[in-house]
Chains A and B, each alone.
Chain A
Amino acid sequence: MAEAIHVDALVKTFGPTRALDGLDLAVRTGEVHGFLGPNGAGKSTTIRILLGLLRADSGSARLLGGDPRRDATELHRRLAYVPGDVTLWPNLSGGEVIDLLGRLRGGLNVKRRDELLERFDLDPRKKGRAYSKGNRQKVALVAALASDVDLLILDEPTSGLDPLMEEVFRQVIREEQQRDGRTVLLSSHILAEVEALCDRLTIIRDGRAVETGTLADMRHLTRTSIEVDLAGPAPGLDTLPGVHDLRTHNGTVRFDVDTSALDAVLRQLTTVGILSLTSQPPTLEELFLRHYDRTQADGKPQTKVTR
């Protein structure tokens, strides 16, 4: 089975709110797949549909080769989930919650649990209410990571973790990556985390996937900022494909260029003659910010960048 998760044209409405609006998502078996999007984009909704908690209005979702709702019981033996908002039972200790969730899933690896508790520096004896937000998150993380499952579904698992713990989390996920056939769906707002961990990623917005692919593919979609003094006028520069935001000031030309069009544009500039040139490397941040930016309605890669 090549795909652990396959979602096709998924639609989910909550009354007037269209939380998912034809979402496509494909997660290959064995990869760590980043799932990004601004607040309210529909990440948690997608995950809840995959877990069979919510019922989609239309479209299809397949999980580990099964139907998320019909085959929930069997599928849930093979996956572990960390909710975005972890709430614990006030009168159960963290250790009890970890053991309970593991056992319900069909058993947990006690050695692994102890190791994870150690690495995450978590005291399992505290009761639900006594945990801080980060520590509640850790309880859910340890419970999920200590089980031997095929698929980990993590909804913003590091929100609330301090930088040290964030680093531990990354190490643990990298180790998971080494183990064969473990798939991770990782919803996150932390770009560095996604850059560090994910093989591929999907960016969604307003309930639709606007970008999907490897990080290299994405880099390709980023833009380089160019500031150049030219020997002469360069007519038609702004009509070149891939050039955005062209401004001329005292003979200095500034523009952004799609990384894919960089070669062609530079070729054009050298024919005019370059006196000086500075360029700023492409960053993923810019790409994400472009997709996150509320002022752009359709979420398609934009021809005009607003900052």
Chain B
Amino acid sequence: MNSLTGTRALARLALRLDRVRLTVWVLGLAVMPMGTAANYLSLYPTDQDLRAVSAVLANPSLVALSGPLFGVSIGGLTVWKIGVTEFILVGLMSLLTVVRHTRTEEESGRLELIGATVVGRYAPLTAALLVTTLANLAIAVLIALGLLATGLPAAGSLAFGLATGLAGMLFAAVAAASAQLTQSARAASALAGAVLGGTYLLRAVGDTGPTWLSWLSPTGWALHLRPYAGERWWVAGLFVGIAAVFATAGYALVARRDVGAGLLPQRLGPAESSPALRSPLALAWRLHRGLLLGWTIGLALTGAVMGGAAAGIGDLQSPNQQLTDILTRMGGNSGLTDAFLAAIFGITGMVAAAYTVQATLRLRQEESSGRVEALLATPVGRVRWAASHLTFALLGTALLLAVAGVAGGVGYGMQIHDVGGQIGRLLGAALVQLPATWVLAGFGTALIGLAPRFSALAWAALIVSVLLVELGALFGLSRWIVDATPFAHVPKLPGSAFTVTPMLWLTAVALALGAVGLAGLHRRDMPVA
């Protein structure tokens, strides 16, 4: 038996387990560029339209958000609009897939079961990378074919597909290394996710300021491969090189560590618990605090960077109708800077909602891991137990949004010398997102209460919401479809008038969904595997 024995069997198993999940990811990621391009074709039929809109996109704030526009063409515009989103999502898909088939399996002990059969030491990691490569290959090919079919040039289409696939592979390799470092799958995903988020911020700063920073960021490279704008194929080599470094590190770490162990030795904990650990809420704090801290740091950085970039919008000499149009489509309403800030906080709300969903689904994890059984055999009731975790989903999100708002206020206020004034304004802009995120918490709770095996659909709800809000207007979807997402009802602050009615409605919907979920939880069997 060599160290790769069993790779094929494991890869086949992984494909079998992930067939629905990966299919959805692949199709979703493949369709978005094609759809965007098709839309721009009808939106900007003449060269003149294109040039008019492109002139606007050199604006630093927009560059911070989506990257620079390299090519004045439908293709160039498509890459600008959807590129960074694609790179982030494909990175997310890849890192989650690799961690799921390595560290998650190991943590659950299933890998040990497999490891005792004829499986080589490197087989699980290789199988995970193989499956992820396959998914990324499919995405790359489908994107290229789709864009070609839309009528865009071949080289650029191929380059965009390649850039997306390579971005995915890079983060697969990052996850291959991070999965060896930590003992828990969650920490491994978080680590790789932090790298992903970091590259986005690095690119945002680099693209508006010192360009060399953007060259440190793989999300930046994907744009610098310049699809439809004189492709620089050699950039692909950067991806391959760095991916190889991370993957090699992953393999080297596998060789050095024991199954089930991380790289860092486990420290001992206290022999007795502190007097504070005496309630479900105190337990939930212990379980949520790491995640919350990581997200707080992430949102503080994002808020500060984006707030700082907002000042750049004022560089534009005369407010321009085209730009206003674009920002309107992105969610803003009036006043350029305000519109940009409103768009930023709209996105921040949806990013924070990822934490909301994650924290809500923690309930389900506690159940399916079996840990809840011993807890529910104590006088702690189910509803109280659920409430302890939901507290973090609801109030934790409030904290994250507040931090993003304050950081945004500081970042923007320092540029325009009005820190005091901006903190209040942007705090409001961030906090209005809260009820919409709560709706997702309510939806997740309802799933956990009524259809626990399908609770991961809460993620699907978030992703669909994001896509509808971001692309709904562009695709000309009818109003009531977009209105089905909670984020469509959030007042666009700052800039437009604050209306309390939608906030009340969203809160009511969230509460109703939550109540239904808790009632279901109260009635149903537990634990459901």
- CB atoms of B376 and A53 under 8 A apart: yes
Determine the residue in chain B with the shortest Cβ distance to A50. B377
Please tell me which one of the listed residues A54, A83, A99 contacts residue B277 in the complex, with CB atoms under 8 A apart: A99
- CB atoms of B379 and A106 under 8 A apart: yes
Please tell me which one of the listed residues B267, B283, B370, B373 contacts residue A100 in the complex, with CB atoms under 8 A apart: B283
Please report the total number of B residues contacting A with Cβ < 8 Å.
38
- Shortest Cβ distance from A297 into chain B, in angstroms? 28
Interface residues of A in 66-82 (CB under 8 A from B): 72-74, 76-77, 79-81
Bound CA span A266–B278, Å: 66
- CB atoms of A95 and B378 under 8 A apart: no
- Shortest Cβ distance from A108 into chain B, in angstroms? 11
Q: Please indicate the chain B residues that have their CB under 8 angstroms from the CB of A125 in the complex.
A: 268-271
Q: Is A104 an interface residue (CB 8 A)?
A: yes
Please tell me which one of the listed residues A51, A106, A124 contacts residue B272 in the complex, with CB atoms under 8 A apart: A124
Determine the residue in chain B with the shortest Cβ distance to A105. B378
Please report the total number of A residues contacting B with Cβ < 8 Å.
43
- CB atoms of B273 and A73 under 8 A apart: no
Q: Is B287 an interface residue (CB 8 A)?
A: yes
- CB atoms of B375 and A104 under 8 A apart: yes
Q: Please indicate the chain A residues that have their CB under 8 angstroms from the CB of B280 in the complex.
A: 104
Please tell me which one of the listed residues B184, B270, B278 contacts residue A95 in the complex, with CB atoms under 8 A apart: B270
Please tell me which one of the listed residues A74, A95, A105, A129 contacts residue B271 in the complex, with CB atoms under 8 A apart: A95
Bound CA span A264–B77, Å: 100
Q: Please indicate the chain B residues that have their CB under 8 angstroms from the CB of A80 in the complex.
A: 377
Q: Is A130 an interface residue (CB 8 A)?
A: yes
Q: Please indicate the chain A residues that have their CB under 8 angstroms from the CB of B273 in the complex.
A: 92-93, 95-96, 99-100
- CB atoms of A55 and B525 under 8 A apart: yes
Interface residues of A in 139-172 (CB under 8 A from B): 140, 143, 153
Main SS of chain B's interface residues? Answer: loop
- Shortest Cβ distance from B518 into chain A, in angstroms? 15
Interface residues of B in 365-382 (CB under 8 A from A): 369-371, 373-381
Q: Please indicate the chain A residues that have their CB under 8 angstroms from the CB of B526 in the complex.
A: 53-54
Q: Is A112 an interface residue (CB 8 A)?
A: no
Interface residues of B in 333-388 (CB under 8 A from A): 369-371, 373-381
Bound CA span A88–B372, Å: 10
Q: Please indicate the chain A residues that have their CB under 8 angstroms from the CB of B523 in the complex.
A: 55
Q: Please indicate the chain B residues that have their CB under 8 angstroms from the CB of A91 in the complex.
A: 286-287, 290
Q: Please indicate the chain A residues that have their CB under 8 angstroms from the CB of B371 in the complex.
A: 87-89
- CB atoms of A99 and B266 under 8 A apart: no
- Shortest Cβ distance from A181 into chain B, in angstroms? 20
- CB atoms of B268 and A92 under 8 A apart: no
* Selected A-B contacts with CB under 8 Å, 20 pairs: A52-B376, A53-B377, A53-B526, A74-B379, A81-B373, A81-B377, A85-B370, A87-B370, A89-B283, A90-B184, A91-B287, A92-B269, A92-B273, A96-B273, A99-B272, A99-B273, A100-B283, A103-B277, A127-B269, A153-B377
* A residues apposed to B, CB below 8 Å: 48, 51-55, 72-74, 76-77, 79-81, 83, 85-96, 99-101, 103-106, 124-127, 129-130, 140, 143, 153
